């Protein structure tokens, strides 16, 4: 089954053509990494997939269903932002439960999901704390936990580790790989970090100036880059 399929997706902001004829498939359970220079459209592409922005043209299919007109909360997707985007006035438990309450999930379901996500991410000691009382790494875990409790079919991560220091980045990267294995969900992960891309990805999508430059496994792209641009991004000698 295909988790996500994009067909000739374009996105313009007024006269600025940001995404250009994007075609892409993400299979069930696949870990797909988007790489490309700053400003090439990575975040915009995630926002279009999530429904936070409308595509100007083209089709977006999730689990076989066309979702161009489906609101974000009904797409079966959860997004983790670089800035964490936690609700400052809610404690960790409140951040984890808000979307589930909006979905009118039962108390028992909410409790069970919060418990499972907290255990996976080691958040149990922090459930009563507010975001301002947490470290950057703890905040990022809450942001990931908030995605997990919704049990999405597809996770979108927008440079989730870029605000963490090097040691924490490595730990969290390993943790995300473990979560991917445990949850057997599809994940799309944006990064400009070559190590993250090479170690996490089943499939890498190289974007340049709003276009897909090349798609392939880390080894394919490393051994057989389409051009110097791709080679430069993935660190293969060129
Ligand atoms: P990346 O995440 O790869 O750094 P973005 O998707 O954030 O790139 O941005 C791609 C391009 O789209 C940039 O030129 C940016 O200025 C433009 N852009 C993004 N969002 C908007 C917006 N809401 N209005 C106008 N231009 C935008
Ligand atoms: Mg971005």
Confidence grade of residue 77 (pLDDT, cut at 50, 70, 90): very high
> Which string of b and e fits 183-213 if b means at least 16 CB within 10 Å?
bebbbbbbbbbeebbbebbbbbbbbbebebb
Give the pocket of ligand 1 (CB within 6 Å).
13, 16, 18, 36, 38-44
ipTM (interface predicted TM) = 0.98
Pocket test for ligand 1, best of 44, 193, 207 (most atoms within 8 A of CB): 44
On the question of pLDDT at 79 being above 50, the answer is yes
**CA max distance for the chain:** 57
CA of 98 relative to ligand 2 center, distance in Å:
25
Q: How far is the CA of 54 from the centre of ligand 2 (A)?
A: 17
Q: How confident is the model at residue 84 (pLDDT cuts 50, 70, 90)?
A: confident
What confidence tens digit (pLDDT) does each residue in 2-54 have? 999 999 999 999 999 999 999 999 999 999 999 999 999 999 999 999 999 99
pTM of the model: 0.94
Q: Is 2 exposed, middle or buried (0-12, 13-18, 19+ CB in 10 A)?
A: middle
């Amino acid at each position: 089954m295909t988790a996500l399929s994009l067909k000739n997706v374009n996105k313009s902001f007024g006269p600025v053509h940001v995404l250009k004829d994007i075609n892409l498939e993400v299979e069930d359970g696949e870990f797909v990494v988007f790489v490309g220079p700053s400003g090439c459209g990575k975040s915009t592409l995630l926002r279009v997939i999530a429904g936070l922005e409308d595509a100007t043209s083209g089709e977006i299919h999730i689990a076989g269903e066309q979702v161009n007109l489906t609101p974000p909360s009904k797409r079966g997707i959860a997004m983790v932002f670089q800035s964490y985007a936690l609700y400052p006035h809610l404690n960790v438990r409140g951040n984890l439960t808000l979307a589930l309450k909006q979905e009118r999930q039962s108390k028992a379901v909410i409790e069970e999901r919060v418990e499972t996500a907290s255990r996976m991410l080691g958040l149990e000691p922090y459930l009563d704390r507010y975001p301002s009382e947490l470290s950057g790494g703890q905040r990022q875990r809450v942001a990931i936990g908030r995605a997990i409790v919704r049990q999405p079919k597809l996770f979108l991560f927008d440079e989730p580790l870029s605000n963490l220091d090097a040691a924490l980045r490595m730990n969290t990267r390993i943790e995300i790989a473990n979560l991917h294995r445990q949850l057997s969900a599809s994940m799309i992960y944006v990064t400009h970090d070559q190590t993250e891309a090479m170690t996490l990805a089943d499939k890498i999508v190289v974007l340049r100036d709003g276009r897909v430059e090349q798609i392939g496994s880390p080894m394919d792209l490393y051994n057989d880059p389409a051009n110097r641009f791709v080679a430069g991004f993935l660190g293969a000698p060129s």
